[in-house]
Amino acid sequence: MERLAAFAADCRDRGAPDAVREDVTGRVLDVLGNCLAAYADPAADAGPAVLRAARRWGGAGEATAIGSGDRLPAPSAALVNGTLAHALDYDDTHLPSVLHPSASVVPAALAAAEAAGSTGSELVDAVAAGIEVCARLGMASYLPETRTSLFFERGQHATSICGTLGAAVAAGLLFGLPAEGVAHAAGVAASMGSGLIEANRTGGTVKRAHCGWAAHAGVSAAVLALEGVTGPPTVLEGRFGFFRAWLDGRYDAEALLSGLGERWELPRTVYKPYPANHFTHPAVDCALALRAGGLAPESVAEAELGVAAPVLATIAEPPRDKARPRSPYHAKFSGPYVVAAALLGGGGLGLDLDDFAALDEDALALAARVRCVADERASELFPRAFAAVLRVRLRDGSTREHRVDSSRGGPERPLTREELEVKFRSNAGRALRAEAVEELLAAARALPSAPSAAPLPRLTHAG
C-alpha cells in the first residue's frame, strides 16, 4: 500500500499529466450529469431513499448533496452522490477489470474537496490518483487465462470493494494527508469495502447504493486517518489482507504496480452511451445497426444474441426473468430486453433514460423472441472489449446478421467530447434549466484552473 500511497501523494504534489487532468474533467462532468438525471428520475428510488436516510442522521453541513442542495456531513454527501452516480447504471467502466471507478471516487472527492476548501486543480489530481488506484486494484484481480475477474467469479462487486480504497485515497489527498496518512486511510478503508452482485440477477435496489457506500466509507476512512486511526502496512498482500480475504491470495502484482505513474489505467475507463449494464452495449449496437439497415421489429420471428460466455450470468440468466424483466431497472440487465428496445427505436445516442422509464409491452413481447448464447469470438475478445453478434430470422424466412467487435464508447470506438456533452446535456437537463446546464458545463471545463472546487456541486440545485 505504501507504493500506491506514495504514487498518490506524488500525483498531488507534482500534478497529474496534462492529458490525464483533461480526462478527469470529463469524468467529473459525466458523474454530475448522471447524478442529476438520477435525482430527477422517479425510477431511481435508491437515491431519494439514501438522501432521506442521510437527513435522519443529521450532522454538520460540510458538503452538498447534488440535486437537492442539502448540506450534509462530507461522508453523508458522498453516500448520496455516489448512490445517484450509479443509480441509473450510466457510469463509466474500466476495461478489462470491468469495474466502475468514477461513481465512487468522484463523489468522495467532491465531498472532501468541498469540506476542505480545495481548489479545482487539487480536486482533479485527487480524482486522477483515486481512479488509478481503484483501477489498478481491479486489474490485479483480472486473470488473463480465464479473461475474467476473480471478484466477478465469486459474486463480489469489484466496483464497491476497490472503489472504497480509491475513494479513501482521493479524500485523503484532499484532506492534506501525507503519503503515510494516505496509506493509513486506504488501510482503514480496506476493512470497510463490500458488495454482492446478486441483485444483477434477481432484482433489488441495493446495488445502486454500492458506489455511494464506497464513497461514504472512503471519506470516513480518510477522516479517521486524519484523526489518528491507522491501517496495517501489509493491508493488501498480508496473510489476512485484502487479496487473501477477497481473492484467496491470487492476484497480479505486476498489474497492480508496473509502470505506476508512467502508464495510466485511467484512460482505459470508457464512457457509456446507453443507460444499461455495459455488457448489453454491443447488443444495442447490433440492434441499432440492423434497424438502420431497414429491419422492421414487427417482422422479427426470432433472434439469437451471441455474447461473451462470462456475461451470460449477468444479462441472460435466469432466462425467464431476463425475457420478462420485473422492473425498468431489471430491464437494464436483460440482453433480450435491450435488443428489443433498440430495435423498436430509442432516443439520445441510441437508447436513453426514457427508454427505461417504464416496461414497454411491445418491447416485452419482442424480448420473448430473443435468446442469448455464448459466442466464441466475443468470448475471445472479452473483457478487453465487449463484442456481440445478433442474428435475426424474419417472418418471411430470410435472415439478418450484424456483429460488433468493440461496443460504442469502447477502446476501439471511444465517445467524442461532443458526444459526451450531448449525454451530459440530456442528463442534466432533466433536473436543471438550460442556462444552469450550460453554467455547470462551463464550470466543469474550467475545473483545472478554478480557485475553488466547492461551487461545482452547489451549482447542481434543482430548478
Cell numbers 435496489: residue: 205
Instruction: Indicate the pLDDT class of residue 27, thresholds 50, 70 and 90.
Output: very high
pTM: 0.91
pLDDT in tens, 234-284: 999 999 999 999 998 989 999 999 999 999 999 889 999 999 999 999 999
Are the C-beta atoms of 266 and 273 separated by less than 8 Å?
A: no
**Domains of the chain, each with CATH number or no CATH:** 1-272+416-459 (1.10.4100.10), 278-404 (3.30.1330.120)
Task: Work out the angle between the directed axes of helices 158-174 and 120-140 (0-180°, nearest 10).
Answer: 150
Categorize the per-residue pLDDT at 347 as very low, low, confident or very high, splitting at 50, 70 and 90: confident
25 close to 447: Cβ distance less than 8 angstroms: yes
Q: How far is CA 189 from the centre of its chain?
A: 19
Looking at residue 410, its pLDDT comes to: 80
Q: Per residue in 380-406, pLDDT tens?
A: 999 889 999 999 999 999 999 999 999
Handedness of CA 415, 143, 275, 130 (dihedral sign): negative
Is pLDDT above 90 for 463? no
Over range 30-45, report the average pLDDT. Answer: 88
Tell me: the pLDDT tens digits for 415-451? 999 999 999 999 999 999 999 999 999 999 999 999 9
What is the pLDDT confidence band of residue 461, given thresholds at 50, 70 and 90?
low
Which residues does 250 contact at the CB level (< 8 Å), separation at least 6? Answer: 143, 150, 243
Q: Lowest mean pLDDT: which of 18-22, 96-100, 258-262, 283-287? A: 96-100
Matching residue, cell 430486453 = 337
Q: Above 80 in pLDDT, residue 143? A: no
**pLDDT at residue 133 above 90?**
yes
Give the residue-averaged pLDDT of 29-49. 89
Q: What is the C-alpha to C-alpha distance for residues 390 and 297, in angstroms, rounded to an integer?
A: 13
pLDDT value of position 353: 92
Q: pLDDT by residue (tens digit) across 157-170?
A: 999 999 999 999 99
Please tell me the number of Cα atoms within 13 Å of 65 on its side-chain side.
28
Say how far residue 289 (Cα) sits from the centre of its chain.
26
Contact 70, 232 (CB under 8 A): no
7-13: average pLDDT? 97
Cell of 106: 468522484
Q: What pLDDT shows up at residue 462?
A: 54
Three cell numbers at 370? 430473443
d(Cα 272, Cα 205) in Å, to the nearest integer? 20
Q: Is 59 helix (H, G, I), strand (E, B) or coil?
A: coil
Q: Which residue has the higher pLDDT, 155 or 144?
A: 155
Which set of grid coordinates corresponds to residue 189? Answer: 478503508
Task: Report, in angstroms and rounded to the nearest whole number, the Rg of the chain calculated over CA atoms.
Answer: 21
Strands (E), 294-420: 300-307, 370-374, 388-394, 399-404
Mean pLDDT of the chain, nearest integer: 93
Band (42; pLDDT cuts 50, 70, 90)? confident
Neighbours of 50 (CB within 10 A): 25
Under the banding of pLDDT at 50, 70 and 90, the label for residue 128 is: very high
What is the length of the chain?
463
Identify residue 451 by its one-letter amino acid code.
P
* Residue 250: count of CB within 10 angstroms of its CB: 12
Taking the C-alpha atoms of residue 132 and residue 138, their distance in angstroms, rounded to an integer, is 10
pLDDT tens figures, 44-90:
788 889 999 999 999 999 999 999 999 999 999 999 999 999 999 89
Q: Within a 10 A sphere around the Cβ of 364, how many other Cβ atoms?
A: 18
